[in-house]
Amino acid sequence: MATDAASAELSVRLRRATWALAAREMRRVLGLWTQTLLPPVITGLIFLAIFGGALGGRLHTVSGVSYVRFILPGLLVMTVAAQAFANNSTSLFQAKNEGYIEDILTSPLRPRQIVIAYMAGGLLRGWLSALALALIASPFAGAPHDPLLLAVALILCGLVFGALGVITGVWADTFDQHAFIANLIISPLALLGGVFYAAERLHQPWRSITRIDPLYYLVDATRQGWAGIHESSPAAALLVALVIAAALYTIAVALIERGWRLKP
């Protein structure tokens, strides 16, 4: 009985410690909202105004919906992906450079709890930015067609890129390495993911290039959730995203457990 009571007490303390670390990450996002939340919302609105205004007048409709309604789901995916990744990778990178990551690694927290806590800030940042963008743009882009599907797609998007951000934060020893992933992998994936165009309208090889982009399927599922149109199976896209999120989370936990590039 005493052993069970001690185990229960330890479990409670670990949950409190996990929440404390996660709360610190989330307070960082909210406290620096002019740097973490405002810029992605403004960037998304600029994309919406430029492409929606410049091309919307010429295209009028894409796949039966207005061009603004067509591109907004892709912008939401771009926002969640970029912000979840950037927040987590930057936070861990700073923890390594400033040395306080050692305090966290030597604490009783389990590796999975450390990963969850660090992911919390990135998920909050990505989802709040996307929510603000959606609320501001909805008078021009209409209401979501399937809010549940939309929410699930954006949740999985945040999990995938939040876990990738943790992995990058562990791996990167310089800002150049961090920028390499952000600028040469995340940004091209977003721009080639069918955010501003329908893949079915492209000629080869661009149609095939778009369809091998994993972000394309999250964009397509989110577009089904918001605009009610899709080119591939939303269920398959969400299943693949779930598998990728689970795999990246497992890798992140394994890296934290080993202390790879974290311990001196």
Segment-wise mean pLDDT, segments of 10 residues, the chain, 264 residues: 67 86 93 93 91 66 84 94 93 86 87 94 96 94 94 96 94 84 84 84 82 89 93 91 95 92 73
DSSP string, 135-189: HHHHHHH---S-HHHHHHHHHHHHHHHHHHHHHHHHH-SSHHHHHHHIIIIIHHH
Length of the chain: 264
- Is 37 in contact with 128 (CB distance < 8 Å)? yes
* Domain of residue 100, residue span: 2-258
Position 60 scores a pLDDT of 67
Position 202 scores a pLDDT of 79
Position 264 scores a pLDDT of 59
Give start and end residues of each alpha helix (H) in the chain.
2-31, 33-36, 38-54, 56-59, 67-98, 101-105, 111-141, 147-171, 175-181, 187-191, 206-211, 214-227, 234-258
**Encoded amino acid at 84, one letter:** A
> Does residue 264 fall inside a structural domain?
no
Q: Roughly how many angstroms between the first and final C-alpha of the chain, as a whole number?
A: 40
CA–CA separation, 255 and 220 (whole Å): 32
Helix (H) or strand (E) holding 66: strand 65-66
Position 247 scores a pLDDT of 96
> Does residue 208 fall inside a structural domain?
yes
Position 57 scores a pLDDT of 60
Position 239 scores a pLDDT of 93
> Does residue 88 fall inside a structural domain?
yes
Strand partners, 62: 65
Position 173 scores a pLDDT of 84
> Does residue 215 fall inside a structural domain?
yes
> Does residue 184 fall inside a structural domain?
yes
Structure tokens at 100: 């306080």
**Domains in the chain, number:** 1
> Does residue 28 fall inside a structural domain?
yes
Position 162 scores a pLDDT of 95
> Does residue 263 fall inside a structural domain?
no
> Does residue 187 fall inside a structural domain?
yes
Q: With CA atoms as reference, report the closest residue to 31 among 87, 80, 101, 84.
A: 87
